[in-house]
């Protein structure tokens, strides 16, 4: 499907620092796209550029093929969550949503609807300044959903949330993507995107490191990694090493082999009558995959991992 949020050659400098460096990405609808990188990688700046809050030094950032600033009634096209504390603390949650609704000609009744959607109906009239972090994030999501937009751009929506809140956010984001919306969500913490994002855009120091689907990334990062448990560790290690695989002892009675398929390991061990108590091919977690990726890209050259779009 066609990209609805895209940047090409996007560059932004703050003095001598290059916050975003020749970044070209395309975010597609119907899936959750995670935007990851360490703190200071340029995620927030990229989102600000996409939302027309900052002006690029080079390149462009487009939403539905247009610069954000040219969109009429922008809330009905893009819902954004940038900073969950960005409201007047003395105003009630409902009043906050009301002025936002009015700015885009959305009936104020919609405010009650989104408050119900995020589970804040009971505190709608309380001052938002007294909200907990989790409630603020929910209010931020409510604000983003106010105009029922097809595109959501969310900067660190899970930051400061408790496990229950993170679970809620995951389900919410997945649900929104399942409705066909474009969900572009940044995080500096890979683990939080596990089971949430389908696609990942990884940046470091403002440059693109990877634009890849989550399953591909994990597959690549996992490589062929097999763990076995056996009392005959010495024999097993010698045997597996003789095939050219990298073999390490990972415990008193366990061995880890890289570069050999699981079924080959099983065949070999059985044919040599080495006792096998357990065999599993392990998959990298998203977090491990991320470290693998950023380690590989330590020189900050872009890598394209089996993506259909080659990345400059």
Which spans of this chain sit near other proteins (rule: CB under 8 A)?
A: 48, 51-55, 68-75, 78, 80, 82-83, 85-92, 95, 98-100, 102-105, 143
Residue 145's closest CA among 170, 95, 181, 121?
181
CB of 175 to other proteins, least distance (A): 23
- Of the pair 72, 299, the CB lying nearest other proteins is at 72
CB of 89 to other proteins, least distance (A): 7
CB of 95 to other proteins, least distance (A): 4
- Of the pair 71, 268, the CB lying nearest other proteins is at 71
Query: What b/e string do you get for 70-98 counting C-beta neighbours within 10 Å, with b at 16 or more?
Result: eeeebbbbbbbbbebeebeeeebbbbbbb
- Of the pair 69, 309, the CB lying nearest other proteins is at 69
- Of the pair 73, 272, the CB lying nearest other proteins is at 73
CB of 93 to other proteins, least distance (A): 11
Q: Count CB-CB contacts under 10 A for residue 257.
A: 26
CB of 91 to other proteins, least distance (A): 5
- Of the pair 97, 274, the CB lying nearest other proteins is at 97
CB of 248 to other proteins, least distance (A): 49
- Of the pair 80, 176, the CB lying nearest other proteins is at 80
- Of the pair 129, 306, the CB lying nearest other proteins is at 129
CB of 201 to other proteins, least distance (A): 20
Question: Which residues, other chains included, contact 208 with Cβ-Cβ below 8 Å and sequence gap of 6+?
Answer: 23, 24, 25, 201, 202, 302, 311, 312
DSSP 100-149: HHHHTT--THHHHHHHHHTT-GGGTTSBGGG--HHHHHHHHHHHHHTT--
- Environment class of residue 28 by beta-carbon count within 10 Å: exposed (0-12), middle (13-18) or buried (19+)? middle
């Amino acid at each position: 499907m066609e990209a609805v949020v895209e940047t090409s050659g996007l560059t932004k400098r703050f003095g001598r620092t290059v916050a975003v460096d020749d970044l070209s990405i395309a975010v597609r609808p119907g899936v959750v796209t995670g935007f990851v990188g360490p703190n200071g990688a340029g995620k927030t700046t990229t989102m600000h550029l996409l939302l027309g809050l900052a002006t690029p030094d080079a390149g462009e950032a487009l939403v539905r093929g247009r610069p954000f600033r040219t969109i009429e009634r922008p809330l009905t096209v893009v819902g954004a969550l940038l900073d969950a504390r960005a409201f007047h603390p003395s105003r009630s949650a409902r009043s906050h949503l009301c002025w936002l609704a009015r700015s885009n000609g959305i009936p104020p009744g919609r405010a009650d609807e989104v408050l119900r959607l995020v589970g804040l109906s009971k505190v709608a009239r309380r001052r938002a300044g007294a909200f907990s972090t989790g409630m603020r994030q929910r209010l931020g999501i409510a604000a983003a959903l106010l105009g029922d937009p097809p595109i959501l751009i969310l900067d660190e929506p899970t930051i400061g949330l408790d496990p229950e809140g993170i679970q809620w956010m995951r389900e919410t984001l997945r649900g929104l993507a399942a409705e066909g919306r474009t969900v572009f969500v940044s995080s500096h913490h890979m683990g939080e995107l596990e089971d949430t994002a389908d696609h990942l855009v990884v940046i470091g120091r403002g440059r693109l490191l990877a634009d890849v689907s989550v399953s591909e990334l994990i597959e690549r990062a996992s490589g062929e990694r097999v763990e076995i448990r056996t009392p005959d560790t010495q024999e097993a290690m010698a045997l597996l090493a003789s095939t050219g695989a990298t073999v390490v002892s990972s415990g008193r009675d366990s061995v880890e082999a890289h570069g050999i398929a699981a079924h080959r390991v099983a065949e070999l061990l059985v044919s040599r009558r080495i006792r096998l108590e357990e065999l599993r091919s392990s998959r990298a977690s998203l977090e491990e995959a991320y470290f693998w990726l950023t380690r590989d890209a330590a020189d900050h050259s872009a890598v394209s991992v089996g993506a259909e779009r080659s990345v400059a």
